[in-house]
């Protein structure tokens, strides 16, 4: 599951695959955290938690 957060990882031909790594950096820089749960054939859930 950690590969979601690695930069330069994409299944799309013209994508750098930086989206989730930048999101994780932004969330953690603001004191929050991200969690990803994925079930093959069902989908993926991304949870972002930020302090108020």
Quote the percentage of the chain above a pLDDT of 70: 65
Kindly list the domain boundaries of the chain, sorted by start residue.
Answer: 2-49
In this predicted structure, the answer to whether residue 4 has a pLDDT above a threshold of 80 is no
pLDDT tens track for 28-52: 999 999 988 889 999 989 899 999 9
Supply the pLDDT for residue 36.
87
Beta bridge partners of 48: 34
Supply the pLDDT for residue 10.
59
CA atoms within 13 Å, Cβ hemisphere of 52: 0
| Confidence tier at 7 by pLDDT (50, 70, 90) | low
pTM over 0.85: no
Phi, psi of 29 (to 5 degrees): -65, -20
Distance CA 4, CA 2 (A): 5
Measured CA to CA in angstroms, residue 11 lies from 8, 17, 27, 31 at distances of: 10, 8, 24, 30
């Amino acid at each position: 599951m950690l590969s979601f957060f690695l930069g330069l990882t994409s299944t799309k031909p013209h994508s750098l695959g930086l989206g989730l790594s930048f999101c994780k950096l932004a969330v953690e820089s603001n004191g929050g955290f991200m969690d990803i749960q994925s079930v093959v054939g069902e989908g993926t859930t991304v949870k972002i938690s930020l302090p108020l």
